[in-house]
Amino acid sequence: MYLDPDVSHAVKILIVGHFGVGKTTCIGSISEIEPLQTEEEITEASEGFDDLTGTPDKTKTTVAMDFGRLTLSDTLVLYLFGTPGQERFKEVWEGLSRGALGALVLVDPERLHESFPVLDRVESFGLTYAIGVNRFDGTTDYPLDEVREALNLSDETPIVNCDVRSQQSSAKALVTLVKHLMSILG
Ligand SMILES: Nc1nc2c(ncn2[C@@H]2O[C@H](COP(=O)(O)OP(=O)(O)OP(=O)(O)O)[C@@H](O)[C@H]2O)c(=O)[nH]1
Ligand SMILES: [Mg+2]
């Protein structure tokens, strides 16, 4: 699917979050082109490093990046880059973050402590961000203001619920980020 010739603005957005939070799922559900994925089987070698308690059915992990595209309006296209979630791939972030305007930070309310190093990194790269709270089935329905408080977010940082398996829901989270970027950049 080729880009509409009227599109005049391209924006690079990162989709970030801790291991197994749903970054690849998010780009997969939202991309209008076949997403680029770099999934590899999780092997015994990662035992003790990759915590699968929240996602027992997970068999693969991103080892380099995800890539997708979403045309948001007649003139605006988003290029979406998903980072690997494992701490040992954190150097990859630096390259991926170059030229990015903002980041959608996916968090799992059951594993908020894993989001702190992610937020630290996003802030150290100077990226404007919004939070997408990815609700996994059968988990506690923590109110958004509690999640905001637990993550120690500033009042300006947008936070929305999302289900990354849904195209519509993922798009809503991205639109929240884009609106936030527009309000800051003018
Ligand atoms: N029930 C439920 N499962 C989900 C949801 N989001 C993702 N999953 C599942 O959770 C697992 C993790 O999803 P991924 O998209 O691979 O996560 P990731 O953040 O890309 O993972 P890494 O690249 O390994 O860091 C997969 O098995 C998904 O099918 C969700 O909202 N609800
Ligand atoms: Mg992934």
Instruction: Name the burial class of residue 89, with classes exposed (0-12), middle (13-18) and buried (19+) by CB atoms within 10 angstroms of its CB.
Output: middle
Distance of CA 7 to the CA centre of its chain: 24
User: In sequence order, what are the beta bridge partners of 105?
Assistant: 16, 131
Ligand 1 close to Cβ of residue 164 (< 6 A): yes
pLDDT value for 123: 95
- Tokens at 163, concatenated: 């289900």
Ligand 1 close to Cβ of residue 57 (< 6 A): yes
Ligand 1 close to Cβ of residue 111 (< 6 A): no
Q: Select from 6, 11, 13 the least CA-distant residue to 129.
A: 13
Q: Does domain 9-185 correspond to CATH entry 3.40.50.300?
A: yes
CA of 54 to the centre of ligand 1 (A): 9
CA distance 136 to 130: 19
Each residue of 121-166: pLDDT tens digit?
999 999 999 999 999 888 888 999 999 999 999 999 999 999 999 9
- Measured from the alpha carbon of residue 55, the closest ligand is 1
DSSP state of 17: E
pLDDT value for 43: 85
pLDDT value for 60: 94
pLDDT band, very low/low/confident/very high, at 46 (cuts 50, 70, 90): confident
Average pLDDT over residues 61-69: 95
Domain spans, the chain? 9-185
CA distance 12 to 31: 13
Which of 15, 16, 18, 24 best tests ligand 1's pocket when mutated (most atoms within 8 Å of CB)?
A: 24
Ligand 1 close to Cβ of residue 62 (< 6 A): yes
- Decide: 83 and 65 in contact? Cβ < 8 Å: yes
Asked whether the predicted pLDDT for residue 186 surpasses 80, the reply is no
Residue listed under structure tokens 């995800």: 66
How far from 107 is each of 20, 45, 131, 134, CA to CA, in Å?
Answer: 10, 26, 7, 6
